[in-house]
Amino acid sequence: MTARTFTIGARGSRLSLRQVELVSAAFRAAQPGVRLDVREIRTEGDRSSAPLSVIGGFGVFTKAIEDALLAGECDIAVHSLKDLPPQLTPGVVIAAVPARGDVRDALVAPAGARLEDLPAGARIGTGSERRAVQLRALRPGIETPDIRGNVDTRIRKVDAGDYDAAVLAMAGLERLALTSRASQVFSVDEMTPAVGQGALAVQAREDDGEAIELLRAIEHAPTRVAVEAERAFLARLGAGCGMPIGAYATFEGADLHMRVMAADETGAVFRASARSGPAHSNSVRAAVSLGEDLAAQVLAYLAARSGKDARDA
């Protein structure tokens, strides 16, 4: 075992530090005796209270940590994978994707209320347009105002009556032992998750062979294949596309099954799904192809919708 101490860089939020604990525990179980340290790094997303759509969305919670990694201020970076842009920063790699957590979205509402129990015009806080358009499709007539803050802060805002409810990632509630606050858990067919939701990305510098080799021990191959399909879908659409999109790939038996959603500017939701057969299901290349094929379907739908809208104008 190396005598080196590996410094892990991550955000200082309670959820982020809990995710570091999970990665560290898996790392130590696989590599007994490894020495780890933690460096908390403040990101643009932590410094600003503006909506994510205003400050840029992708990269606002990850770039500062990647900069610290490249500068040698840390050796390993831990992110929620859904925060990473589809194109990685030059010089860093995703060295490991551990086993994925719960991918679903959950409603947090007072007195255990479900979506259908909320009054007409209810204000459901979410910082995600992906969640907002799917909520409005499930329950027309609600409002979906922006909400910012960590998991605890968002729950407090609901409890204080600032919002009638909020939608949060079930994985975050699970990692913080707050699953009892979920009054309704949406199926992946009701609300398609964000790309990479529930998964963690563990990064290293691409020239740090020692760190990369050690991190292979916590890689979960099925999760890696699934998120590569999802990230290929996102990359094909373009990180700056601005449209609400979701994607979720998972193994069903020997097949990799992927479902996606996208919404146009009118809020109309398009859904599609496809699967990669057993002969190709474990191949990253086949997973990427699956994601790109579904992205092509979304682009064709949006192009058809745009043409229809133009003809109706």
Q: Which residues are annotated as catalytic?
A: 83
Spatial neighbors of 173 by CB under 8 A, at least 6 apart, are 106, 108, 151, 179, 181, 182
Cβ of 292: how many Cβ atoms within 10 Å? 15
Q: Exposed, middle or buried, 176 (CB in 10 Å: 0-12/13-18/19+)? A: middle
The β-bridge relationship of strands 124-125 and 165-169 is parallel
* 247 and 233 Cβ atoms separated by less than 8 Å: yes
Within the chain, strands assigned E span 5-10, 35-40, 76-80, 92-96, 105-108, 124-125, 165-169, 184-185, 200-205, 245-252, 255-263, 269-276
Beta bridge partners of 271: 261
Contacts 24+ apart (CB under 8 A), 267-270: 267/133, 267/136, 267/137, 268/305, 269/133, 269/134, 269/137, 270/298, 270/301, 270/302
Kindly state the tokens that stand for 18.
């809990």
Q: Hey, is 107 helix, strand or coil? A: strand
State the Cα–Cα distance between residues 202 and 228, nearest whole angstrom. 14
Spatial neighbors of 181 by CB under 8 A, at least 6 apart, are 108, 155, 173
Q: Hey, is 224 helix, strand or coil? A: helix
Q: Exposed, middle or buried, 33 (CB in 10 Å: 0-12/13-18/19+)? A: exposed
* 166 and 157 Cβ atoms separated by less than 8 Å: yes
